[in-house]
A and B are shown apart, each in its own frame.
Chain A
């Protein structure tokens, strides 16, 4: 029963850009692409977040990914096809430098969150400080390579970008699903609950935490590359540092990090909400949009701790089968 539904959904997503979307077609497509890109990043974050590895510095991996491919293209004209693995490698290396000492010496919980928070800021400040080649706080523009250039992954047609983002997003979901279905998930849940007990039954705690962190960082970097290729303008304020890092966390918490689609749904909601509020309030009542955004977030965190999507799903499942013990829902 679920499979035909999923196939139908996928087919709809695939033909979405060719549907008659009305006069605001380009804008709708733009928002959809943003949702997919940030959905990838949110999914990547939740790989760690759901096991209690709360990172408040994922902006660092995003920024490293985006700046690596863009700089290599701008300076030496190397195709992002070739440099994306480098970008992922750089983010993974950064995650290793951050993660290994933290996990080896048991920096957990709030302390780990604080270390990651600092990492995000360090990368942001580094980008600003190295302004000669990164453009600093003025930002960096991807060198134009024409309206249709597959080698440079630059396309004026938004539909192509939509399909690319959709593909990468699906890969991200697949990674999440694979982790969810494996013994690794149980092991990481055990580690998240009680490291000492987990280690006592033979789970290599440090290695497991490190592995999921590297995976999350790598996938986030891919999101960063996509962002850079699509918007062709990078800014350290948007791609590294506290602001974007928290934005990722909020979206995932909103949607729910224990379900496959939760992070994407959360991302879609935060983007839709902020776009709607931006349009609705415009320049009137400055700050009102942010206030409402904040309030909605707080209410959801209090009343739906499993997130909007996760919470609703749990509700539906419970109604469908009242006697069933509620498992951590997946899918």
Chain B
């Protein structure tokens, strides 16, 4: 479904990504991990079009998308959430999501359809669907949910979820991970998930890609990655017990 080939990105003299390659199959749930500054978010930015890659190719459903504008990539079926939530604070919660439902598809949805779809998505992520309130009223967990709802409302085939658990408490983490799994299982949306909370991530995903210093250092099943000495050295620090 998604084929990243030899992608690199440089900022001035700094190489944020160097020759990263991996594939994601339809319906897969892939974890993307690595230490801070290893290039995870830069990779998301390249795939979603927020940044143009300096080299390499990104193919989505057989079509080259590297260098397309973010809105064009969104219309092709890739949605992303932001690590630090970026809600539109002047719009209501419902409008935030309805806007994504209206503009996110190849052909624009009528207002009424967009609104009702937005309400469905808000219910799915666990936010009140009347939604006239502003995002300013939401706490950290609520903003993460809104971020996810906005991305889902664009009707993606592939979701790039960037640290959806940051700043959440244990119960919220369990719920959020559960929501992601349902998005994949019930809606059939392929997911690439960047996350630092390893125990949770490893339990949910099918496969893990590990980045370090802008390079892919390992890739495989969660259990194998948790025991891979390279991954432990670069990132995990110690073995994690998987339940």
Interface of A toward B, CB cutoff 8 Å = 183, 186-187, 189-190, 192-194, 196-206, 325, 327-328
Contacts and interface: CB of A to CB of B under 8 A. Distances in A.
Nearest to A195: B70
A190 B150 CA distance: 12
A202 B104 contact: yes
B100 interface: yes
A193 B88 contact: yes
B8 interface: no
A198 B96 CA distance: 10
Contacts, number: 76
B111 interface: yes
28 contacts: A183-B103, A186-B98, A187-B103, A189-B91, A193-B88, A193-B89, A194-B88, A196-B70, A198-B88, A199-B49, A199-B70, A199-B71, A199-B74, A200-B151, A201-B74, A201-B99, A201-B104, A201-B150, A201-B153, A202-B104, A202-B105, A202-B154, A203-B103, A204-B69, A204-B103, A206-B69, A325-B132, A325-B134
Interface residues of B, number: 35
B103 A325 contact: no
A279 to B, nearest CB: 41
Nearest to B105: A202
Contact of A328 (B90, B150, B153): B90
Contacts of B89: 193
B95 interface: yes
B90 A201 contact: no
B103 A202 contact: yes
Interface string B95-128: 1001110111100000100100000000000000
A197 B79 CA distance: 11
A180 to B, nearest CB: 14
User: Nearest 8 CB-CB pairs, A to B?
Assistant: A199-B70, A202-B74, A201-B100, A197-B86, A202-B104, A202-B103, A190-B88, A204-B71
Interface string B30-71: 000000000000000000111000000000000000000111
Given A189-B90, A194-B86, A200 B134 contact: no
Given A197-B88, A199-B69, A187 B99 contact: yes
Contact of A199 (B50, B111, B114): B50
A201 B152 CA distance: 9
Contact of A203 (B79, B86, B99): B99
B80 interface: yes
B107 to A, nearest CB: 11
Contacts of B92: 327
A18 B80 CA distance: 61
B232 interface: no
Contacts of B95: 186
B184 interface: no
B212 to A, nearest CB: 26
Contact of B86 (A187, A192, A196, A327): A196
Contacts of A325: 132-134
A200 B88 CA distance: 12
Nearest to B102: A183
Given A183-B99, A202-B104, A325-B133, A197 B82 contact: yes
A202 B154 CA distance: 8
Given A200-B80, A205-B71, A327-B92, 17 more contacts: A183-B114, A190-B99, A192-B90, A194-B86, A194-B88, A196-B50, A199-B70, A199-B71, A199-B74, A201-B99, A201-B150, A202-B71, A202-B75, A202-B100, A202-B104, A203-B71, A206-B69
Select the residue from B86, B99, B153 with max chain A CB neighbours within 10 A. Answer: B99
Nearest to A204: B71
Interface in B3-51: 48-50
A111 to B, nearest CB: 20
Given A189-B91, A325-B132, A201 B103 contact: yes
Given A189-B88, A189-B90, A325-B132, A200 B70 contact: yes
